[in-house]
Copies of this chain bind each other. A is one copy, B any other.
């Protein structure tokens, strides 16, 4: 048993595959468990990872674990795989992995539906003023508040234009949901021109059983979809602007002051992708000037260091701002699927995956490019 490969797991995950492999003696599993003074930590601190890496064959990490050349060298020649329980991989030095012949597993796809749910949740919370409405009740102000015909009203999504910055699988899953709210039009900007063609494989995530049947019957979707040239044009047309772009250097602050300047005063911005896609200073300024109606963000620049002094938490903005702590993928089902992917990717790299495909990753990054 002492020769079984060692797996270093930086946080507890809701999947039994690795524990079962450990119980069978196929791997030796080392899992970080927080000490009393570490109860506030999301995952193992760097010191713990560096301490336990030597001799590991696999590292199972999350977004908050930086995996750089130091960590890889500490693990040494035994290391075969870095498996991250995330769809993003900014925290992993891919070149360093490639140089050391370390494979990288990740968990794309399985969180798309959960994030699309969150996009709809935030679009509704923002447009329908859910937080000020909720606070009115919890603060005990309802008995003394006049609920007149236009009190706390917001725009319906019916007949409106939904704009997207980025139009990949999650954006398209979001459109599928919003279709039942009967928008008039969907406009999007992508990093490269991506003309809309309902029959192209690039738009397959739009066409589930229901919308697919509709398109086969009518040759079109029940709303207009158009790829426009730039983000500014999307912003100018959108009643709700949903940010779902990849975060790469070219998309840093893609929603900037110029883009915000073009938006309708009645529009709401939703960001369920990455915080730095939006220029927070420009956003705060636009909110103070009533240049837009509101924002609903699951991700914020500089997260999780969002303290009560953060400008988005200014009392003057409280009725226009919804902030969630990056829970876009936080359905139980999505997190379990991510944990299954991450643990099976570890076992696959070691040739120990249960079932017939013992060395097949659920999803592996291609490091050859």
A residues touching B (Cβ–Cβ < 8 Å)? 11-14, 34, 39-43, 62, 85, 113-114, 117-118, 120-121, 124-125, 128-131, 133-134, 136-140, 142-159, 176-182, 208-211, 213-214, 216-218, 222, 303-308, 313, 318, 322-327, 330-335, 338-339
A140:B332 contact, CB within 8 angstroms: no
A117:B213 contact, CB within 8 angstroms: no
With a CB–CB cut-off of 8 A, which chain B residues contact A154? 330-332
C-alpha gap A334/B305 in the complex (Å) = 40
C-alpha gap A326/B335 in the complex (Å) = 34
Query: How far apart are A154's CB and chain B's nearest CB, in angstroms?
Result: 6
Query: Closest chain B residue to A326 by CB distance?
Result: B147
Query: How far apart are A261's CB and chain B's nearest CB, in angstroms?
Result: 24
Question: What are 27 A-B contacts defined by CB distance under 8 Å?
Answer: A12-B149, A62-B149, A117-B156, A121-B124, A121-B125, A125-B130, A128-B330, A134-B324, A140-B306, A140-B308, A145-B304, A147-B304, A150-B332, A155-B331, A156-B331, A156-B334, A158-B333, A178-B180, A179-B210, A180-B180, A180-B210, A209-B214, A209-B222, A210-B210, A210-B222, A213-B213, A217-B217
C-alpha gap A322/B154 in the complex (Å) = 19
Sample of 9 further A-B pairs with CB below 8 A, known A117-B124, A120-B124: A39-B146, A113-B158, A117-B128, A134-B322, A138-B318, A140-B308, A155-B332, A159-B333, A213-B217
Query: How far apart are A303's CB and chain B's nearest CB, in angstroms?
Result: 7
Number of copies: 2
With a CB–CB cut-off of 8 A, which chain B residues contact A327? 128-129, 133, 147, 152-153
Instruction: Select which of B149, B323, B338 is within 8 A of A138 by beta carbon.
Output: B323
A148:B11 contact, CB within 8 angstroms: yes
B142:A303 contact, CB within 8 angstroms: yes
With a CB–CB cut-off of 8 A, which chain B residues contact A325? 133, 136-137, 142, 145, 147, 152
With a CB–CB cut-off of 8 A, which chain B residues contact A40? 144-146
Instruction: Select which of B142, B179, B213, B306 is within 8 A of A137 by beta carbon.
Output: B306
* With A214-B213, A323-B138 as contacts: A330 and B145 at CB distance below 8 Å: no
With a CB–CB cut-off of 8 A, which chain B residues contact A134? 131, 322-324
Query: Closest chain B residue to A176 by CB distance?
Result: B180
* With A118-B128, A157-B117, A158-B113 as contacts: A142 and B306 at CB distance below 8 Å: yes
* With A121-B128, A130-B130 as contacts: A137 and B324 at CB distance below 8 Å: yes
Most chain B beta-carbon contacts within 10 A, residue among A177, A211, A330, A335: A330
A308:B39 contact, CB within 8 angstroms: no
C-alpha gap A85/B149 in the complex (Å) = 9
Query: How far apart are A328's CB and chain B's nearest CB, in angstroms?
Result: 10
Query: How far apart are A36's CB and chain B's nearest CB, in angstroms?
Result: 13
With a CB–CB cut-off of 8 A, which chain B residues contact A39? 146
A41:B146 contact, CB within 8 angstroms: yes
* With A179-B210, A303-B142, A307-B143 as contacts: A152 and B330 at CB distance below 8 Å: yes
C-alpha gap A6/B182 in the complex (Å) = 40
With a CB–CB cut-off of 8 A, which chain B residues contact A330? 128, 151-154
C-alpha gap A353/B176 in the complex (Å) = 41
C-alpha gap A178/B121 in the complex (Å) = 12
With a CB–CB cut-off of 8 A, which chain B residues contact A145? 40, 304, 325
